[in-house]
Amino acid sequence: MQDNATTKPCPLCKSPGRFHRLVDEYPLAKCTACGFVYVDVSDQHIEDVTFNYGDSAKAHYAESQSIIDFLWFDKISRKLTAGKTNLKVLDIGCGNGVLLQQFQKRGCDSYGSDPSPWAQDCVRHHGYKMIPTIEKANVDPDFFDIITSTSTLEHVARPVEHLTEIIRILKPGGKAYFTIPNYGSLPIRLRIVKGRLVAPPGHCSYFTTRTLRYLFTRQDYADKIAKIKINSYGIPESYGIYSWFSRKLKRSKKKPKDTASAPPKAEAKPKPDAGRRVDSKALLVGVYYWCGRPFGLGDKLEATITKA
Ligand SMILES: [Zn+2]
């Protein structure tokens, strides 16, 4: 074996990989044929980590979910369900069920899937239906109208097999929507920051626009996908920026107030009439989204595939 050869073949095309870089003592490999980057440890090790997020994940979700996430989930659920009724929706890797809440609000029959016990408790508590991981759930073919997978595919060690199952359980004409970290984002390309997005072994699959397109166009299911749309989006390293502001804000809130000398509060100004008001939420999401669109260098990738 050559010095820089890897032990695990490429999960996308089964070609050999070469050593790419070391992150937190985990070797990342890059496929010599398709360029896909993946963690060079056993699938079992990845599953052991990914399927057993403890209660600490609950706190992590609560801390890392920002207003952008909530607005984003509102936007994508609105877009995917527009003009349709009686939809069966599955959210893979549903975590604390924030996206499912949006679908339920829009009258969808909502299912969640997440291997972590804390997430299952969370979802049941909110009254959604829960299935095991889709590979183990034995779902009927052509069952779901919409399948979402937000920030989940990067945790999947065998993306081809995973996507094969998604396509099998999706109805013809149904849509699957994905968001994942963009390994081709500007900070990662420049190696300025490691970021939250390069986090092995939990994050085991590192997609760029090119390798994600390659995943969707593999022969295993190419004839079953009618349409593929991939964009990069999001201000690069926005989580780092958000965390910085959030810490600053918390610190400033902790300072004791000098209430005695504080000037009396000015009376609230009347709100401008609705017709002239700028939708600040839409503006916030718009700025966040479009800053990452040019040249595929944004924080994340979004993809929509339509089943033939
Ligand atoms: Zn490959």
What is the maximum alpha-carbon separation in the chain?
76
Q: Cα of 91 to ligand 1 centre, how many Å?
A: 27
For the stretch 227-266, pLDDT in tens is 999 999 887 766 666 666 666 676 766 655 454 454 544 4
Cβ neighbours, 10 Å, residue 131: 16
Percent of the chain with pLDDT over 70: 77
Distance CA 233, CA 296 (A): 8
Confidence of residue 298 (pLDDT cuts 50, 70, 90): confident
Rounded to the nearest angstrom, the distance between the alpha carbon of 31 and the centre of ligand 1 is 5
pLDDT tens per residue across span 116-167: 777 777 777 777 888 888 888 899 999 999 999 998 999 999 999 999 999 9
| Count of Cβ atoms closer than 10 Å to residue 293 Cβ | 13
Instruction: Judge contact between 210 and 49, C-beta under 8 A.
Output: no
Q: State the distance from the centre of ligand 1 to the C-alpha of 29, rounded, in angstroms.
A: 10
Q: Which amino acid is at 120?
A: Q
Helix spans in 178-229 (H)? 186-189, 209-216
CA of 114 to the centre of ligand 1 (A): 27
Q: What's the 10 CA to ligand 1 centre distance in angstroms?
A: 5
Rounded to the nearest angstrom, the distance between the alpha carbon of 159 and the centre of ligand 1 is: 12
The stretch 95-104 carries a mean pLDDT of: 89
Confidence of residue 62 (pLDDT cuts 50, 70, 90): low
Q: pLDDT digit string (tens) for 254-297? A: 655 454 454 544 444 444 444 445 567 677 777 777 777 777 78
pLDDT in tens, 173-204: 999 999 999 998 887 877 766 656 788 988 99
Fold of the 59-179+223-237+291-307 domain: Rossmann fold (3.40.50)
Query: Average pLDDT, stretch 80-100?
Result: 92
C-alpha 197 – ligand 1 centre gap (Å): 21
In terms of Cα–Cα distance, which of 305, 300, 307, 306 is closest to 72? 300
Residue 32 Cα, ligand 1 centroid: separation in angstroms?
A: 7
What is the CA(211)–ligand 1 centre distance, in A? 9
Angle formed at CA 82 by CA 163 and CA 286, multiple of 5 degrees: 85
108 Cα to the center of ligand 1, angstroms? 37
pLDDT attached to residue 275: 45
Ligand 1 geometric centre to CA of 258 (Å): 62
Burial of 66 (0-12, 13-18, 19+ CB in 10 A): middle
DSSP state of 151: S
